[in-house]
Amino acid sequence: MNGRTTPRGPWSTGGGLPAFTPAPQDMLVLLGIVFVTYSLQFFEGTAILPALLRLTPLVWRGFLWQLVTYPFSGYGGASIWILLELLILYWFGRDVYFRLGRKRFWTMIVVSAVAAAAVAELTYLAGDLTGSAPPSAFLIMQGQRMLLTIFIAAFATLNRRATILLFFVLPIQAGWFLWLEVLFAFIAFLGTHDLPGFLGITTAVVVTYGSLSAGGAGRMIREWRLRLERWRLQKELDRERRKRKMTVIDGGRGRDDEGDGGPWVH
C-alpha cells in the first residue's frame, strides 16, 4: 500500500490529494500509449498496429494477445472528446494508483480486462454459432472505454462514501457509480446491440469490485461457489421430494419434547 495521502478523487468532497501532487509516471506512460495508438489509426501506414491490438474475433484464430492489449489501443473517431476521456482517465486512474501502488494497480487492470475479454469472446462465439453475432461486437469496450470502466469501478469500490459531482453538477455517492456504469453500458447496448461488449463491461465492473472489496476476489469466488452449491442441493432435494412424494416439515412447528427442533423429512 502506498504511504501517500489518501486521495478522494475528481469532483469529490471531503479531502483530496495535495495541490501539487506529482503525476504517477505509470499513468503518464499509460495515457501516452492510449493517445499514440489512437493517433496511429488515422494514418494509412500505421493503422494496422492499433487494429491488431484491439479485441476482435481473431482471438479464436490465435490472436491471443488481444485479450490483454485491447484496453491500451485508443479508440474512437477524430474528435476533441478523446482529450476529455484521457483527462477523466487520469483523474480516476491517479487516485486508484496512489491507493493500490504499482503492482496491485497493474494486476487489477490485467485481471479485469482479461476476464471481460474472455466473457465477451465467449458471448460472441455463442452468437456466431447461432447466427446472432452482432456486426459491431466489442465496440463499447474497446480502448480507453475499458480503462475508464475499470478505474471508475475501482474508485467507487475504494471510496464508496465519497461524493462525486456527476456531470460536474449532481452529487452522487461514489458507490453508486458501480451501478451507473452498468446502466450506461446497457444504454450503449440498446444503440449498438453489442451484447459481447455489454457483458464485457459488466464483467469488468464485477471483477474489479470483487478484487478490491473486503476479502478480495477469493472471497467473492467462495461466496458464489457456496451459493451455487446451495442452489444445487436445493434442486436435488426438490427433485427427491417430488420423486418420493416427501414433505419437509418445519422443526419449530413440528417439534416434540424429545426432538431437537430441527427440520426433518417425512
pLDDT tens readout for residues 165-221: 665 566 677 778 888 899 999 999 998 999 999 999 999 999 999 988 865 555 556
Cα gap 141→202, rounded to integer Å: 10
Q: Which of 109-118, 141-150, 161-170, 172-181 has the lowest mean pLDDT?
A: 161-170
In terms of domains, do 125 and 18 share one?
yes
In terms of domains, do 85 and 114 share one?
yes
Residue corresponding to grid cell 478522494: 8
In terms of domains, do 202 and 234 share one?
no
In terms of domains, do 56 and 170 share one?
yes
Kindly state whether residue 3 falls inside one of the protein's structural domains.
no
pLDDT attached to residue 5: 37
pLDDT attached to residue 246: 58
Largest pairwise CA distance in the chain = 87
Which pLDDT band holds residue 78 (cuts at 50, 70, 90)? confident
Stronger pLDDT, 73 or 133, i.e. the higher one: 73
In terms of domains, do 107 and 168 share one?
yes
Q: Is the pLDDT of residue 6 over 60?
A: no
Residues 6+ apart with CB under 8 A from 26: 97, 102, 105, 106
Q: Is the pLDDT of residue 257 over 60?
A: no
Q: What is the mean pLDDT of residues 117-134?
A: 91
pLDDT attached to residue 161: 74
DSSP string, 186-207: HHHHHHH--HHHHHHHHHHHHH
- Cell numbers for 83, please give them: 482529450
Cα gap 222→55, rounded to integer Å: 30
- Cell numbers for 70, please give them: 485491447
For 11-34, how does the pLDDT look when each residue is reduced to its tens digit (9 = 90+)? 444 444 444 567 889 999 999 999
For 225-238, how does the pLDDT look when each residue is reduced to its tens digit (9 = 90+)? 777 788 788 877 87
Q: Is the pLDDT of residue 53 over 50?
A: yes
188 within 8 A of 134, measured Cβ to Cβ: no
Residue corresponding to grid cell 446497457: 186
- Cell numbers for 126, please give them: 455463442
Domain boundary residue among 172, 192, 213? 213
E strands of 131-199, at which residues?
163-166, 170-173
The total domain count for the chain is: 2
In terms of domains, do 122 and 237 share one?
no
pLDDT attached to residue 247: 56
- Cell numbers for 135, please give them: 456486426
- Cell numbers for 216, please give them: 478480495
116 within 8 A of 204, measured Cβ to Cβ: yes
- Cell numbers for 175, please give them: 458507490
pLDDT attached to residue 13: 41
Domain boundary residue among 213, 240, 257? 213
pLDDT attached to residue 223: 63
Domain boundary residue among 178, 196, 213? 213
Q: What is the mean pLDDT of residues 245-251?
A: 57
In terms of domains, do 207 and 228 share one?
no
Kindly state whether residue 61 falls inside one of the protein's structural domains.
yes
Q: Which of 29-43, 136-150, 248-262 has the lowest mean pLDDT?
A: 248-262
Name the percent of the chain in helix, strand, coil, to the closest 5.
65, 5, 30
In terms of domains, do 183 and 232 share one?
no
pLDDT attached to residue 252: 53
| Residue 36 CA from chain centroid, whole number | 24
Phi, psi at residue 122, to the nearest 5°? -65, -40
Q: Is the pLDDT of residue 259 over 60?
A: no
In terms of domains, do 55 and 172 share one?
yes
pLDDT attached to residue 143: 93
Kindly state whether residue 229 falls inside one of the protein's structural domains.
yes
Kindly state whether residue 5 falls inside one of the protein's structural domains.
no
**What's the mean per-residue pLDDT of the chain?**
82
Kindly state whether residue 206 falls inside one of the protein's structural domains.
yes
In terms of domains, do 156 and 258 share one?
no
Cα gap 124→9, rounded to integer Å: 35
Kindly state whether residue 2 falls inside one of the protein's structural domains.
no
In terms of domains, do 131 and 229 share one?
no
Q: Which CATH number belongs to the domain containing residue 162 in this structure? A: 1.20.1540.10
Q: Is the pLDDT of residue 105 over 60?
A: yes
| 27-31, 157-161, 250-254, range with greatest mean pLDDT | 27-31
Q: Which residue range(s) make up the domain with 39?
A: 12-213
Kindly state whether residue 4 falls inside one of the protein's structural domains.
no
Kindly state whether residue 7 falls inside one of the protein's structural domains.
no
In terms of domains, do 154 and 67 share one?
yes
Share of the chain above pLDDT 90, in %: 53
